Structure 1
Amino acid sequence: MTVPPPAALRHIDGAVARAALTYPGLIDALRDAFAAGTIAAPLRGHYPMDDGAGATNIFLVMPAYQPGAYTGVKLVTVAPGNGARGLDSVIGLYVLFDGASGAPLLTVDGSALTVRRTPAASALAARYLARADAKTLLVVGAGNLAPHVVEAYRAVRPGLSRVLIWNRNADKARAVAAVTGAEAVEDLVTAVAGADIVSAITMSRTPLIRGEWLKPGCHVDLIGGFTPEMREADDAAIARARLFVDTREGALHEAGDLADPLRRGLISAADIAADLADLCAGRHPGRRDASDITLFKSVGTALEDLVAAAFLHRSLAP
């Protein structure tokens, strides 16, 4: 990465960050970073905390650095009770530093950074894993991420002619459909069975997507679960699919969709076909057959945050 010279420390608010973190530019930046392999991103610190009202928040600390370029850390809280407070469930701050001098360069609204970089990583995986002729995208979940997921997938699969939104709360599905030009659906079984791409963005602890519903050639993208207790897809879906992850270390330790069947001996670490670094560097071709069912599990990595913050810094440099 080329680092613009340090200037006065500035804060990038959510609206500016979301507008500047454009697809497919961010997707390409992530591709280049995963392929290069020069960013170190230790496993995030994961700290459950009582919110004082009977619920448990999770505080995450996510550092990453690229020698001679950038260093950064995301400080983020996942607060399930924030809906009742009128706040995003994922909220925080990112701080970017010059990797050579250590000078702070900018701070960024952490929620805005997360809602852009997370779908970008899934869309990047879909470049290699989803069928090129995919026509129907189903988004399972209607939270803050949903419109960004739709936008990111349209950037890498412009042939999508039908986008479906499902949510337990049908009113929320209709609200997302209205702002994305999608179609709200209430029958999850039929929607999954007809989808070429299924992207799940929930915090479910019980599987919503069942393997028996998946049609040949489907690509499944599991975004929401980020603890060992969370499951968005059942064992049959995991067993039917060829498995891919953003990072092996994170997905196998933190993602219940893989960590749970791994713990019970239903899969082994060797069943992970590739991670994003393998795909982007050309060490694995991704989808090999039109009838393959592929499954990408992401838990998020601090590499993605650093790339997004650096992308912002370069984009907004005077």
Structure 2
Amino acid sequence: MRVFSDAQVQEVLPWKALISGLKETFAKGISLPLRTAHTVPVPGEPDASFLAMPAWEVGGKLAVKMLYIVPGNSVRGLPTINATVLVFDAVTGQVQAAMEGGELTARRTAATSALAASMMARKDARSLLIVGAGKIASNLIPAHRTVRDYDEIKIWARRPEQAQALADQFDDNVTAVSDLDAALPHADVVAAATFTKDPLIKGALLKDGAHLDLVGGYTTEMREADNEAIRRAAGHIIVETFEGARAEAGDITQPLKDGAITEADIAGDLAGLCQGKVQARTDDSQITFFKSVGAALEDFVAARMVTESQTQTEDQ
């Protein structure tokens, strides 16, 4: 069994190849049960979450990721997502690899976001607004740059110093902003990665033709955009998976409960989009919306790439 550190995982998951692998596997499909999730109370701060996410390809590999997500770690200067991934031979059950899951989670999440944007955002999208400044947000920038040529990228975070620190890691086209409401009307693509339970993104401020990408919320209590944002995207909504969205996506379940949208307003899932069976955008004036909560298929694709990189190295 080979053990991979976060640094090694990052090295063997280039954006273009990862996005391509995700598209191919979403279109093909693998065995993907709904993940197991447990709430773990933490005294004096937001609850933590423990999750187990398996996925497998019959006759191929099985990957399972175990996560412990601690929102309170943001004020400690520690990672909020702590994860480990194991890869098994799905026929013999032998463990082939173990790897740190922090970098894998961040990269596969951002790559899935960029994959959706590659098929949903306007072809001439030139401005990207990142909402949040954590690990996922830092990966959203290079991932989205892989699928669109952005002239400007803005970053907003609750703590302006975090937004500025993230912007400083990139070139001059990436800058921090302090007023989210002022930035929203100018963004062709809005990608949010936060743990908020109170919607930050106001639908009334979105420009016609914008693409909205929400990747932060992973429970029914969490949401990043208000009902107006979802209502304006009605008919042009793509979810990562129907099962995950209905069970865990507050940005879907709450607007459905409120009557802001109906099930019929969800155009399809990412598999259907990758297969060409559904189309999210038919003209440049429509607002499109992608909601993900994290699917084990994405961990499977990334973990398989990491594991196979070991085999390729040994064969050289």
SS of the residue corresponding to residue 232 of structure 1 reads coil
| 1:125 partnered with 2:119 | no
2:139 counterpart of 1:145: no
Q: CA deviation at 1:84?
A: 3.8
Residue 187 (structure 2) aligns with: 195
Instruction: Determine the structure 1 residue equivalent to 2:278.
Output: 284
Deviation at 1:205, TM superposition (A): 0.5
Alignment-derived partner of residue 2 in structure 2: 10
Give the structure 1 partner of residue 237 of structure 2: 243
The CA deviation string for residues 133-169 of structure 1, in whole angstroms up to 9 with x for no partner, is 1100000000111221000000011x21100000110
Percent of residue pairs identical:
44
- 1:116 match: secondary structure: helix
1:233 alignment counterpart: 225
Matched, 1:206 2:198: yes
Query: Which of 127, 134, 150 is the matching residue for 2:125?
Result: 134
Greater displacement, 98-107 / 170-179: 98-107
Secondary structure at the residue paired with 1:313?
A: helix
SS of the residue 2:201 aligns to: coil
Shift in Å at residue 52 of structure 1? 5.2
The number of residues matched between the two structures is 308
* Alignment pair present for 1:102 and 2:96: no
Counterparts of 1:109 and 1:302, CA distance in 2: 15
Structure 1 residue aligned with 2:269 = 275
Matches of 2:75 and 2:167 in 1, distance apart?
Answer: 22
Matched, 1:298 2:310: no
Residue identity in the other structure for 1:307: V
Q: Which residue of 2 aligns with 1:6?
A: none
Summarize deviations over 1:159-217 as a string: whole Å, max 9, x none: 21100000110000000001022100111112110000000000010110011000011
Partner SS, residue 18 of structure 1? helix
Are 2:157 and 1:167 equivalent residues in the alignment?
A: yes
Q: So what's the TM-score if we normalise by structure 1?
A: 0.94
- Which residue of structure 2 aligns with residue 82 of structure 1? 73
Residues 1:56 and 2:47 are matched in the alignment = yes
- Partner letter of residue 158 of structure 2? R
CA contact (8 A) 1:18 1:113 kept: yes
The answer to whether the 8 Å contact 2:210/2:288 transfers is yes
**Kept after mapping to 2: 8 A contact 1:147/1:180:** no
- Normalization by structure 2: what TM-score? 0.95
Amino acid at match of 1:160: Y
- Picking from 12, 16, 38, the partner of 1:24 is 16
Corresponding residue number in structure 2 for 1:180: 170
The structural deviation recorded for 1:92 is: 1.3
The one-letter amino acid of 1:295's match is: F
Q: What is the aligned partner in structure 2 of residue 46 from structure 1?
A: 37
- Does residue 116 of the first structure (1) align with residue 107 of the second (2)? yes
Q: 1:61 touches 1:73 (CA, 8 Å); kept in 2?
A: yes
1:107 CA displacement: 0.7
Q: Which amino acid aligns with 2:48?
A: N
For 1:312, the aligned partner's letter is V
Report how far residue 231 of structure 1 moved: 1.2
**Structure-2 separation of matches of 1:61 and 1:164:** 34
Q: Which among 22, 30, 34 is matched to residue 26 of structure 2?
A: 34
Quick one: which amino acid aligns to residue 313 of structure 1? T
RMSD (CA atoms)? 1.2
Q: CA deviation at 1:263?
A: 2.0
Q: Which is worse superposed, 277-286 or 196-205?
A: 277-286
Stretches of structure 2 lacking an aligned partner (at least 5 in a row): none
Q: Distance in 2 between matches of 1:47 and 1:259?
A: 19
Q: Which runs of 4+ in 1 moved over 3 A?
A: 51-55
Task: Give the gaps of 5 or more residues in structure 1.
Answer: 1-8
Q: What is the alpha-carbon distance in structure 2 between the residues aligned to residue 276 and residue 245 of structure 1?
A: 6
| Alpha-carbon distance in structure 1 between the residues aligned to 2:83 and 2:105 | 9
Q: Distance in 2 between matches of 1:76 and 1:289?
A: 39
Q: How far apart, in 2, do the equivalents of 1:84 and 1:209 lie?
A: 23
Question: Residues 36-62 of structure 1, C-alpha deviation per residue, up to 9 Å, x if partnerless?
Answer: 12x111111110112356542100011
| Contact 2:237/2:280 (8 A) holds in 1 | no
Tell me how far apart the structure 2 counterparts of residues 98 and 203 of structure 1 sit (CA, whole Å).
Answer: 35
Question: Counterpart of 1:145 in 2: which secondary structure?
Answer: helix
Give the secondary-structure state (helix, strand or coil) at the position aligned to 2:168: helix
Deviations 1:57-84 (A, max 9, x none): 1000111111011101110011012234
Give, in angstroms, the shift of residue 234 of structure 1.
0.2
